[in-house]
Structure 1
Amino acid sequence: MITDDMLHTVLRRRAAGERVHDIRKDLIIPTGKRKGGNPSPASIYRALAGYEKSQAYPESAEAARAEFAELRLATG
């Protein structure tokens, strides 16, 4: 699991020229089954891909967030 803070760290450090493999060692999973461990490179790359997609299509990302919020309220 990649948190928003972790994603921000990855984006900032990649912009500075660091490799994902090197950044990954400094990221700590805060909750869940793998709490205290490092995220896999695949998880980091998936988070980066999701971020890039949301930046390319911000209106669809915002619509998805709004739809998700409505569903949570309806089932809540």
Structure 2
Amino acid sequence: MATKFWVVVTSRDHALDGVVAKAAYEEVREVEIRPLIDSLEFIKDKEKWGYIFRTGYFEINKHDFDLIESHMHK
């Protein structure tokens, strides 16, 4: 089943507060995280990989984003 996803763009520069950005929606599929754990750089402790997801919002680098996105489009 295809899932629509969206990306929240935030800024550390508060000069952009209140600026509305356009979002592009794409048809993608859900991706299981477990097969990607060893390749994701934002997961520092591979044995306790679920901890980072408990924080809610967190930043990931382009490598990790591209890896996840590539699996969503397969």
TM-score by length of 1: 0.28
Larger fraction in helix: 1
TM-score by length of 2: 0.28
Larger fraction in strand: 2
